[in-house]
Amino acid sequence: MTSPELESARRVARRHGEQIGRLIKDAAEINIKIHCAAESLLTRQSPDGFWCGELTADTTLESDYILLQLWLHQPEGAQWDPPSRARIEKACRSILERQLPNGGFNIYRGGPAEVSATVKAYCALKLAGRDAESEPLRKARERVLALGGLQATNSYVKINLSLFGLYPRQFAPTVPVEITLLPGNVLYEMSSWTRSILMPLSIVQARGANRRAPDGFTVDELLLPGMSLKLPKKNKFSVLFHHLDRVFKVWEKRGSQHIRGAAIREAERWILDRARSTEGLGAIFPAMMYFIMALDALGYPKDHKDLADAVHHFESLILETGDRFIFQPAVSPIWDTAISVFALGEAGRKDHAGMRRAADWLISKEVRRKGDWSVKRPDTEPSGWAFEFANEFYPDIDDTAMVLLALMHAKGSDLAAQAAAERRAINWLLAMQSSDGGWAAFDVDNNWAVLNHVPFADHNAMLDPTCPDITGRVVECLCRRGLAEHEAVRRGVAYLLQAQEKNGSWYGRWGVNYLYGTFLAMRGLAASGVPGAQEAIARGADWLRATQNPDGGWGESCASYARDRFLPAPSCVSQTAWAVLGLLAAGRSGAAVSSGVQFLLERQRADGTWPEDTTTGTGFPNVFYLTYGMYRDYFPLLALAQFA
């Protein structure tokens, strides 16, 4: 070898040596970060085996809490002094802490003022004794009027205020209690959460019209002059339902009391059956609140077990420490536990003692009774997991798939019992596939679109249609469970392929938004191994790379739902982790992945956790969003573990 050739070879060797050295150093750093994150997660495990992070939302929950106290503790004339006064004051401070500089209140962190949230906050604060001419209320009132006034709020604001004579009853939608008597299981064509909200609310409207606010109390100052109070009519279907609403209002006054009485009794039976097998009706805030109001309207004494239990479960949603007072819309132990276990398993912690405790706890939470889902699947053996500690009528498909993924990494004390639970859950998932090939959250073929036009459907969640994010997770779960050749997987893959947006992304129903839907759809398609899916996966990867922020991370605004397109936001660790996981599913390990991983590494704190103050969870698109307290920790751990 000549001298120049030798020198060239030495330079190449040095370069390779430096690259290998950097790789070893980077790998060591990543492994240290993974170890810290895993240890941090394990220290937060409950002795019983579960994880449960905080689940928070906007000020509407604290506002509704104050209105509920007015329902339960009626004023004497102009005076209102409920026994819950100390908590009401805490709730007021909690609301005011989140008021925007322009006087409004938003429904996600960093979002603009929203009229319904602002009206609720104003009403609650004024009801609690805040001066209407104080700066916070004056600015809130100005913001309400700028946003269209009380007339622009959603149906549930108008219904709630109408219960106390604070909004004209004739302009608030009627939820007819007679819906329980309709043939053809019409009730079960609505989403599960809508059923659990509407049934007690229908009783409240039928029996609770005699409630009142303190003498002289009004919110008429929120009405925008010149704006009609009539319900909006958007199309021929909404016109039809508005005519029906007028019929219902006439029926309320002149209809058969025998039929109405039978409907109320059936609705009462329905809500009691479902509340006695859970920690509150539906285990979600609005249903639990209306359940308390319904039992009270039906004359249940305060010390009746059903009513006392309902109040206890409702108040268990409060996060109260010192001056802090925040309501959770629900609790998320099964969800948080399943994702934590899966992330820890991917990080190589399968043999940790906490994994066995987690598996035992999860197996103990399998649902073994038939719930609302069985109306359309009567011959299916019950199984599945709910979102909360106890919600037996409402196991959901997303949690069930996530638990099955987690149990691949965690083995319980009784392997035979675990195997039986897994078999039942897989069969339940297969049975819950909708006719279009996708999976929804709670039900099968819950897509009767005409119901979106009823007057009280503006919570944007009247139905529970199939969606790419849940379908992607289920497909991944089934494939990793050895069912890649199953017909259900083939149909699920076909659904995902047709659901892809033109730009290569997928819509995310339960997480914000296209980043969430895209990473889960890509993981499902990649797990399937279907050759025809590769082009779709590559297009998804191209979209992810194109939406990366200059700092190496990813961020997406909740406003993406309102605009029907991706809207970038400052990078956050949970959404960055989703994007990295999507790119890894595509087999992409280039600059986009490296910079995304670097973003996560640089922001991890010394205790193994990550900072994040971003709303990345979706309850009802455009209406209600969620902040999961543990997303910022287990998703980055999962992304780093799979990268490593």
Task: Quote the CA–CA distance of 122 and 153 in Å, as a whole number.
Answer: 13
> Is 48 annotated in the active site?
no
Which residues are within 8 A (CB) of 34 and not within 5 positions of it... i.e. 6 or more apart?
A: 347, 637, 640, 641, 644
Instruction: Quickly tell me which residue has 């060239």 as its tokens.
Output: 8
Count the Cβ atoms, other than its own, within 10 Å of residue 258: 8
Instruction: Quickly tell me which residue has 């069912």 as its tokens.
Output: 483
Contact criterion met (CB below 8 Å) for 605 and 586: no
Nearest to 524 by CA among 551, 487, 562, 497: 497
Contact criterion met (CB below 8 Å) for 556 and 514: yes
In a 10 Å sphere around its CB, with 0-12 CB exposed, 13-18 middle and 19+ buried, how is residue 99 labelled?
Answer: buried
Q: E strands within 267-400?
A: 318-321, 324-327
Helix axes 415-431, 353-364, angle to 10 degrees: 50
Q: What angle do CA 531, 536, 538 make, to 5 degrees?
A: 95
Catalytic choice (64, 296, 396, 398): 398
Contact criterion met (CB below 8 Å) for 452 and 238: no
Dihedral of CA atoms 125, 130, 133, 137 in degrees, nearest 10, equals -20
Which residues are within 8 A (CB) of 161 and not within 5 positions of it... i.e. 6 or more apart?
A: 123, 150, 167, 172, 219
Task: Quote the CA–CA distance of 616 and 301 in Å, as a whole number.
Answer: 41
Contact criterion met (CB below 8 Å) for 123 and 161: yes
H or E element: which one contains 117? helix 115-127
Question: Token pair of 158, please?
Answer: 């108008």
Nearest to 481 by CA among 516, 524, 521, 443: 524
Contact criterion met (CB below 8 Å) for 173 and 455: yes
H or E element: which one contains 21? helix 3-43
Residue numbers annotated as active site:
398
